[in-house]
């Protein structure tokens, strides 16, 4: 081969090599990238046909290498991998050519179960109370006949409550139905007077007599009140005295009140003392009232004796007692007479009081009772003195009718 032919062949070889390199670069830029997490069985099968000789080129005895890649390398789809065995393992998704999620078939459910552990046992579920729902309010209903009786007494003692008699009768009735004999007596008393319900004297007598026979001494006193309200004073007095002699404190105090109203202070004091020893609070107050009245009466008697001797201070003190009702009933006429007697002896406080009395008189010149009542609290001596006690002793007090039922029945 001559030198020109060799140079021509060298030029053709360099040109072919450049074309080959360009084709390789183009093939690499168009082939999809296969990642490492693809199926291990994936493969790219490329068919590389033999290239025809370059056009307009003379036939050459040079053959292209078999491994030379073509200018374009068509990629055929890889066959689908065999379905994996049933397992709870999930295959990672492909990153190249991934089908839509709807086209991916889930592997069949696995029959493999995780080992059971002690912690897999479900704990019992407890329902928490709703914070917005208030719990049931505790019931105030009594739990025993004795409790119903005590609640009945509490309802009875409520003051200023028109519903108290109804509530008390309901609770007493509940306790009586449970066998509390004291409650039976309370129901009888309320029925006898028509408190909290319809009046039924016959039913009241039956209940109170049965309670008395069962050892409730106070039932006789309650029946005496029912009979007195019905107009049978004789039977009422007999029942009251029977209960008092059997030791009922309220009945003993009532006996003292009866004799004090009759004017028999000695017998009244005797019954008051018995009642106070038996536990009557009213009897103690009645005894104190008797003592105050006795002290005021004794003081009045001593003052009257001194006034009779013409003692001006004693005359003024006696006038003040009748003016204020201190130990004696109020008597404005006697008070005015003693003021004048003391003033006539030059007693200055008496003269000041007379001046006040005469400063406001009626049209006919007589003293004004309303003005006298206002002047009773005026101190004309300019001395600090204790307030005068009431001239009329405080009314004798009776015990609460049902207070005597608090004690257990005696047998």
Q: Report the candidate in 401, 406, 408, 410 with the shortest Cα–Cα distance to residue 240.
A: 401
User: Could you read off the pLDDT of 89-108 as tens digits, one per residue?
Assistant: 455 555 445 445 444 455 55
- pLDDT, position 52: 55
CATH number of 145-290: 1.25.40.10
The pLDDT value given to residue 11 = 57
Question: Do 313 and 343 form a contact (C-beta atoms < 8 A)?
Answer: no
Cα dist from 181 to 107, 145, 152, 211, 217, whole Å: 85, 10, 14, 6, 11
CA distance 190 to 170: 11
282/260 Cα distance (integer angstroms): 14
Dist CA 23 CA 348 (whole Å): 151
Going residue by residue through the chain (411 aa), what tens digit of pLDDT does each one get? 455 544 455 555 666 666 667 666 666 655 555 444 444 444 444 444 555 555 555 555 655 555 555 555 455 555 555 555 555 545 555 544 544 544 445 555 555 555 554 444 444 444 444 444 444 444 578 889 999 999 999 999 998 888 999 999 999 999 999 999 999 999 999 999 999 999 999 999 999 999 999 999 999 999 999 999 999 999 999 999 999 999 999 999 999 999 988 889 899 999 999 999 999 999 999 998 888 877 777 888 888 898 899 999 999 999 998 998 877 889 999 999 999 999 999 999 999 999 999 998 888 888 899 999 889 888 887 643 444 444 445 556 899 999 899 866 655
Q: Where are the beta strands (DSSP E) in 194-316?
A: none
Separation between Cα atoms, residue 241 and residue 23, nearest integer Å: 141
Domain ranges of the chain: 1-48+62-76, 145-290, 296-375
Tens digit of each residue's pLDDT (9 = 90 or more) over 341-371: 999 999 999 999 999 999 988 888 888 999 9
Of 205, 163, 162, 164, which Cα lies nearest the Cα of 187?
A: 205
Which tokens belong to 225?
A: 């009140």
């Amino acid at each position: 081969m001559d030198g020109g032919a060799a140079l021509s062949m060298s030029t053709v070889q360099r040109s072919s090599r450049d074309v080959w390199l360009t084709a390789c670069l183009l093939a690499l830029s168009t082939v999809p990238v296969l990642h490492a997490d693809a199926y291990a069985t994936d493969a790219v099968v490329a068919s590389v046909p033999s290239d025809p000789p370059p056009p307009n080129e003379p036939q050459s005895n040079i053959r292209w290498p078999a491994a030379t890649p073509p200018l374009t390398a068509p990629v055929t789809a890889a066959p689908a991998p065999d379905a994996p065995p049933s397992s709870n393992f999930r295959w990672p998704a492909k990153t190249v050519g991934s089908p839509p999620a709807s086209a991916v078939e889930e592997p069949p459910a696995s029959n493999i179960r995780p080992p059971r552990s002690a912690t897999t046992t479900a704990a019992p579920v407890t329902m928490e109370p709703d914070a917005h729902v208030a719990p049931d309010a505790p019931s105030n209903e009594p739990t025993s006949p004795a409790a119903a009786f005590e609640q009945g007494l509490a309802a009875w003692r409520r003051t200023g409550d028109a519903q108290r008699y109804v509530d008390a009768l309901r609770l007493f009735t509940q306790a009586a139905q449970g066998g509390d004999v004291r409650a039976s007596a309370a129901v009888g008393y309320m029925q006898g007077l028509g408190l909290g319900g319809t009046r039924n004297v016959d039913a009241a007598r039956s209940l109170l007599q049965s309670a008395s026979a069962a050892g409730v001494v106070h039932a006789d006193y309650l029946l005496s009140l029912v009979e007195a309200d019905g107009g049978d004073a004789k039977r009422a007095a007999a029942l009251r005295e029977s209960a008092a002699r059997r030791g009922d404190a309220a009945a003993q105090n009532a006996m003292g009140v009866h004799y004090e109203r009759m004017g028999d202070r000695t017998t009244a004091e005797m019954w008051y003392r018995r009642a106070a020893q038996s536990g009557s609070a009213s009897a103690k107050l009645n005894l104190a009232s008797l003592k105050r009245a006795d002290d005021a009466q004794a003081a009045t008697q001593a003052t009257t004796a001194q006034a009779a001797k013409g003692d001006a201070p004693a005359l003024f003190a006696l006038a003040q007692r009748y003016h204020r009702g201190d130990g004696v009933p109020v008597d404005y006429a006697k008070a005015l007479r003693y003021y004048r007697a003391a003033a006539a002896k030059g007693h200055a406080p008496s003269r000041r009081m007379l001046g006040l009395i005469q400063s406001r008189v009626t049209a006919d010149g007589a003293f004004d009772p309303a003005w006298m009542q206002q002047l009773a609290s005026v101190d004309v001596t300019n001395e600090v003195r204790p307030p005068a006690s009431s001239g009329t002793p405080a009314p004798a007090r009776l015990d609460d009718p049902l207070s005597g039922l608090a004690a257990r029945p005696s047998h």
